[in-house]
Structure 1
Amino acid sequence: MSLWGKREKEKDDIVGDEGGLGGHPLVMDAKRTFTKRIWSEWRGGLSACFITAVTILSLPEDFLNYYILPLRFELVRLMVPITCFGVMFAANWTEHVLQPPVEPKGIVSFSGKSVFFTVNVIGILLVYYTLSLVGQFCRIYGYENEILTYVTYRFFVHVYSLGMMLSLFYYAGVLGDADERENINRWHLRGVPLARYLHTTHGSSLLCVNLDLIFKNRDLVCSFLPTQEFIILSLHGFGTYYTIWVMLNYSITGYFPYPFMNGMGNPGLCFCFLCIMGGVGACIGVCSSMLISLVKCDEVIEVFKVANLYAIVFGGGGAGGGG
């Protein structure tokens, strides 16, 4: 049985309409050995690094001189895209592998985890930063890829908006909800550090998109900066998709993905809330694009130049950067 199939079976065993609390081995394992599980992940990563290092040292000299040694001079430039990719990979790994299946069964019985805004956004960010990292390696070795450059700069504002939306939505709205806090505390009493998982999956996007913003190559960002109309339409398009998916899931299961939405007691109110959130996302996108344009056009604002040390010292870069 595949890992995914195994976890789906575990989910069916543990998760119930009341939260699936009980003495399931997966929950007890989280209670007894959370630290050991984290160490196990780190140990696996360190082992992979060691094997990679040994493999590199055993490669032919010509291969090393052409492919490996150039990385020494680009290490700092690679640090940002590697960090963003690694953080988002960790967020997705936490969401889909480390975190026990704590969702009420009714919510995920039709759509799975795709009904959660978090899963959609961190998945998009992982794809974006994967392409950014690949694009950075291509630039290092002189294989400029126009498609990768276009995608990683044309949609930077969209990624920034979604990342900010995710963290703001969670920390300003969901985390303060009484039902959500009760759910976190309920799992904590049974040994599942749900709060740690949630901070990892919801706080990582805030870190990555702002780190990327600071070190992004401003000239390339501005040269590919979309119009405000395109930003509004595309973000509203994503919001429309998500709203339809949530409402469809509700019509089949009778559940919304977040406790406070179920507490509204009116599907119409939830629909209006989702539409408002789409508008907020579009506003964030427009404001961030205006800020980036201001940095580009107004040479008087030196503070942004100071903040953009990476682009000054290394001639551009950042996640997907370069040039």
Structure 2
Amino acid sequence: MSKVKYYYDPDTLSYRKIEPKKSRRFRNIALFFLGSFLFGFLGLILLLNTNLVNTPRELSLAREVKNYELQFELLGKKMEQIENVLANIEDRDNNIYRLYFEANPIPEEQRRAGFGGVNRYKSLEGFNNSEMIIATTKRLDIIQKQMVIQSKSLDEITKLAEEKEKLLAAIPAIQPIKNEDLTRMASGYGWRSDPFTKARKMHWGMDFTSPKGTPVYASGDGTVTRADNNASGYGKHIRIDHGYGYMSLYGHLSQYNVKARQKVKRGDLIGFVGSTGRSEAPHLHYEVWKDDERINPINFYYGSLTAEEFENMLKFANQENQSLD
């Protein structure tokens, strides 16, 4: 309660009550409300800039962020499960399916390759959780790429399975010279000493030594694409396209028994051993190609050799001796 003030009136020789002016009263009330408003406003600003008080919207956004973090955690666990299943499929693909159909395994670096070039995730930068979002997106992209690669691989395996009989007949699976006709196997696939320069040189096939005129047989079904003397170093040679990316080559022949565009079956007589071209002695130089790349022929003799014969061949093929061409 406000204090009552008085003043002395000399005319009446008495004290009179001081009555405040209405304008002053209104001014004081206005100042009170203005001060209260400013104080409340400053207090609200301070509270909103601290963690003591959160607005309903901030509380709602915080709950959303927590929910998103939980969803990302669950997504990470699901991706881990997908990666484990995919790794199992890839392992079976490389070590069972592709091995069974004599297809080259898909290299690990190809399956796990990332994405080069421009920054694919620039639009995701600049947010509070950008690192987590970008890492998760990258992980999803890699999984998607792996699945595409695996899908294409399985499509290839399915196609091979549908044509299994033709494939098995076409694969160069027998030794091109019979064991009883061999003098010895001179050199295998790998780095060998060149007979002319004596320098170490990659030998892309296998050399089978045998007398001139020894029969040479087609190692798989296919079509003769070349039977000529027009390739440097090979002399008289024959090339057979077996399909499915396979090709076999028979070099340094003395004679042909087939001609270009002729279809042959596994075991057909196609030519005879000689020493034409870049050759030091009568022998057959034999190569196997897969998808335009030369591969080790020793992996393709399951159709004509016993386990003991194959073991002996493997021992001689691994010796770093001198090739004959």
Q: Look at both structures and tell me which one has the larger radius of gyration over its CA atoms.
A: 2
Between the two structures, name the one with larger relative contact order (CA 8 Å, sep ≥ 6): 1
Q: Which structure carries more helix by proportion?
A: 1
Q: What TM-score bracket applies, with the shorter chain setting the length?
A: under 0.3
Q: Which structure carries more strand by proportion?
A: 2
